[in-house]
Structure 1
C-alpha cells in the first residue's frame, strides 16, 4: 500500500513534534545521571554506577524534588561510592606493610597480589620480562582481572588458579591468609569478630579451603576494596582502568630507595640474586651478573613517578605518591595522610595494628621474610650496613635520576655510608593530586 504525500508530511511533522517535546523535557531540568539498578545499590555494599563527577551536583540523589533520581522508584542511590584502592609497588618496597594498613580497616576487603596467578599461568617463571608481547598479554589480563575483582567478581580469578577450583572451592589462592576478610565469616567460620590479629599461617591451616562464592559475599559486605600489586611496572599501564567510569580508583604508588630494594631482594630471593651476593662478598662484580635486576626498577620508577608527578588530567583525584621511608619513620602520621586521601577514617583496628607492628626487630626472620612485625624506622635504612660501597656507588650511578627525583641522597665515601646518624632521605613533601 502506498502512502500519499500528505500522509508522509503529517508523519514527519508528528515526529518533529515528539522530538521537540523530549528535548524540552530534558533541558528544562538540570541534567543528572542516575545509577543503574543493581544488587549493590540495593544494600549489598557493591560498586555504584554513579560517575564521580556527578556526585554533589544540584538535585543529586533526588533530595530536592527537582526531577532527580527519586522520580524513578527503581533507582536506589547510596550516599557514598565504594572506593577501589590500588597499591602500586614493586617487590621488597614495603608493599606488604602498606597493604596491611588497609587490611586492618573494618570496611575494607583486601587482596594480596592476585596478579600472581595471572603471571604464573600466562608467563611461567617470569620475573621482569621486557618482551613487548609478554608485557601486552600480562597487562591486558591484569587489567581485566582487577576490574572484575573490584566489582567483587572473584569467580573471574578461578581461570588463573591451578589446579582449577572444583565447585568454586580452592586451597591455592595466593596468600589468602593475608586478608582479614578471607579469614572471617562468611568466608571462614574458624575465627570470630574478636579475633583481630589472626596469624596468616593459622588462617590457612584452620580455614582450610576457600569457597569463592563465600569470598564474593565477604567482598560485597565491605564498603571498599583494596588490592596490592607488584606486577604492573608503571602507572601509565593502568590508565584504562583508572579512567573506567564504572570504578572509583584511588592509586597509592609506593616507592623506596632503590638501594634498599636491592639489598632486601638479595637477602630474600637468594637463588635469583646469588651473583649479587658473590659481588658483595668478594668485592668483584661477576661478568655474567644480570644488571637488569636493578636497572629495570629504576627505569620503571622514573617513568611511573614522572607520569604521576606530572599530574595528567586522568589522574586528578586518583594519585598519591608515598615513600616507604616516610611511612617507616612516622607510621601513624603517614597512615592518617593516606586515609585522608582515600576519604576514610582511621579506625581503632588500624591504630592498634600500627602500634603492634612497628616496634619489633629491625629485620624479618627467614621464616617470616614477608612479615610486617619489625622496627620500621630502623629497617628503612638498614641496607647501608649490608651493601658494599662499590655496589652502592654503582646503584647511585645507574639510578641517579630517580634518586634525585624522589629525594634520596647519594653517599661519597664508606664513612658516610655507614654513619647511621646521617639520614639519606631528604625532607620532601609529595602532595596527593586532588
Structure 2
C-alpha cells in the first residue's frame, strides 16, 4: 500500500500533537522538565525557562548552559530590548611575530570600551609545555603546542578564562593569581569588576596610568571576576606571536560559533631583525657582535631570521590565495602602512571587522604616534613613539652586510609584501627614499 504525501504530512502533524500534549500533561513547564532530566550540561545549573527557549528559537540546551547561549544569541523577537549580550560577538586574533608592532595593534582594540583584550595568553601554554616548543621545527612538537593553543583560544573567546589556570605556574589558588603574563596590558583586567581598586570615590571607573600601576593597585587577579569582565564586553581581541601560520587556526576560523576574524600583521624582516637585536640582547648577542666587528661569527644562528621569513611566507601565501575558509575573515596589514597612516589604516581595520571606531581609539592614536625618538629608544616595549619615523629606522641600525644576508634569505617574502631590495650602502642610508612600495592588500568577501 502506497501512502500519498498528504497522508504522510497528516501523520507527522498528528505525532507532533500527541508528543506536545504528553509533555504538557507531565509538566506545566516543559523546558524546565527538559533541563531536569539531564539536557543541561554537567556543572551548569538547570536554569532554562520557557522565555529562554523562546529566545533561542530551537534550543541547543544540551550543548551549552542557557546563560552562555543567551550571551551569544540575538533575541528571537525583533521587539526584544537590545543589550550587549543579545548581539553576536566578534572575536579577533592579531597574528604576528615578535617585534613586528603587534603591541601597538593590540592597543587599537584595548582602548575600545566594548572590547575585552588579552595580551599574549598563549605565553602560559608555551611556558607550561617547555619554552623550546614555541620555535621548534619538529612537526610533532609543534602540533602539541598548537593543539593546546587552539583549545585555550576557543575557551578564552567563550570567556572561559578558568581554562587558563591549568597553564599558569604556580597554579592559582582559589582562582586568584598574580602571575598572569602582562595583566596590566589589558584595560579590562585593570578596571572594575576585575579590579575594584580602579573604582573612584563616586563610583566612576578610573583609568590607571600604566601596567605597573595596575599591578600595584589591583593586586592578584581573581579569574572569576575576569570572566565577568569578559562577558560584559561585546567583543574579544587576543594578540599572539605564538601561532606561526594562519592555517594553524583553520579549525577555529571554520567554527560558526566563534565568528573569528584574523588580522595578519607583517613587517619588513630587516626591521624585525634590527628590533630584536636591540631588545633581546642575550639571544641576539652574536648578531650584535657581527654589527660591531663587521665579521659574521661562524656559529651565528641564522635560523632565527630564516624561521620568521618561512612562517610569514607560508601564512601570507595562504591568505593571499583566498581560500574559501578565509572568505571575509582575513586581513593582511603591513606595520609600515599603519605607522605612516595610523588613522586611515585603523578605520580600514575596523571596517573589515564591522566594528564602530570609538572616539577613544582615535584619541589614543593621536596621542601615541607622535612621541619623541628619544623616548622610543629608551623604552623598548612602549607604544608611544614617532610611528612614521620608526617604520624604517632599521636602516641605520644594521650593517649593509647584515641587510644583504637578510634580503637573500627572505627575498621571496620581500617581493610578495612589497619591500624593496637595496643594492648599495648609500641607498640603504638614504632615508628620503622609502623601501616600502605602495601596495593595497584588501580583504576578500
TM-score, normalising length from structure 1? 0.85
Shift of 1:18: 3.9
Q: Does 1:432 align with 2:439?
A: no
Which residue number corresponds to residue 39 of structure 1?
Answer: 67
Q: Does 1:91 align with 2:98?
A: yes
Structure 2 residues without counterparts, runs of 5 or longer = 17-55
Structure 2 matches for 1:346-357, cutoff 5 A?
346-357=357-368
Shift of 1:195: 3.2
Matches of 1:250 and 1:362, distance apart in 2 = 33
Q: Which of residues 219, 225, 239 is equivalent to 1:214?
A: 225
Q: Does 1:328 align with 2:339?
A: yes
Q: Does 1:292 align with 2:292?
A: no
Matches of 1:369 and 1:231, distance apart in 2 = 20
Which residue number corresponds to residue 80 of structure 1?
Answer: 87
Which residue number corresponds to residue 100 of structure 1?
Answer: 107
The alignment partner of 2:72 has SS state of coil
Change (3 A) 1:250 1:34: farther
The alignment partner of 2:373 has SS state of coil
Matches of 1:203 and 1:279, distance apart in 2 = 40
Contact 1:362 1:376 in 2 (8 A): no
Shift of 1:363: 5.8
Shift of 1:61: 4.4
Contact 1:364 1:372 in 2 (8 A): no
Which residue number corresponds to residue 143 of structure 1?
Answer: 150
The alignment partner of 1:136 has SS state of helix
Change (3 A) 1:397 1:364: farther
Contact 1:113 1:228 in 2 (8 A): yes
Q: Does 1:202 align with 2:227?
A: no
Matches of 1:248 and 1:351, distance apart in 2 = 25
Matches of 2:139 and 2:106, distance apart in 1 = 29
Shift of 1:372: 0.2
Which residue number corresponds to residue 118 of structure 2?
Answer: 111
Matches of 1:271 and 1:367, distance apart in 2 = 18
Matches of 2:338 and 2:300, distance apart in 1 = 32
Structure 1 residues without counterparts, runs of 5 or longer = 1-8, 24-31, 51-59, 65-69, 71-75
Which residue number corresponds to residue 55 of structure 1?
Answer: none
Q: Which of residues 161, 164, 182 is equivalent to 2:168?
A: 161
Change (3 A) 1:354 1:285: same
Change (3 A) 1:422 1:246: same
The alignment partner of 1:370 has SS state of coil
Q: Which of residues 373, 385, 397 is equivalent to 2:384?
A: 373
Change (3 A) 1:172 1:364: farther
Which residue number corresponds to residue 3 of structure 1?
Answer: none
The alignment partner of 1:110 has SS state of strand
Matches of 1:238 and 1:22, distance apart in 2 = 44
Q: Which of residues 314, 321, 324 is equivalent to 2:325?
A: 314
Which residue number corresponds to residue 176 of structure 1?
Answer: 183
TM-score, normalising length from structure 2? 0.83
Which residue number corresponds to residue 29 of structure 1?
Answer: none
Higher RCO, 1 vs 2 (CA within 8 Å, ≥6 residues apart) = 1
Superposed CA deviations along residues 232-267 of structure 1, whole A, max 9, x for unmatched, are 100001001111121110100000000000000000
Contact 1:41 1:77 in 2 (8 A): no
Shift of 1:335: 0.5
Matches of 2:84 and 2:109, distance apart in 1 = 26
Which residue number corresponds to residue 185 of structure 1?
Answer: 192
Which residue number corresponds to residue 264 of structure 1?
Answer: 275
Which residue number corresponds to residue 301 of structure 1?
Answer: 312
Change (3 A) 1:138 1:206: same
Shift of 1:364: 5.5
Matches of 2:269 and 2:84, distance apart in 1 = 45
Superposed CA deviations along residues 111-165 of structure 1, whole A, max 9, x for unmatched, are 0000000000012344511111210100000000000000000000000000000
Change (3 A) 1:21 1:284: farther
Which residue number corresponds to residue 45 of structure 2?
Answer: none
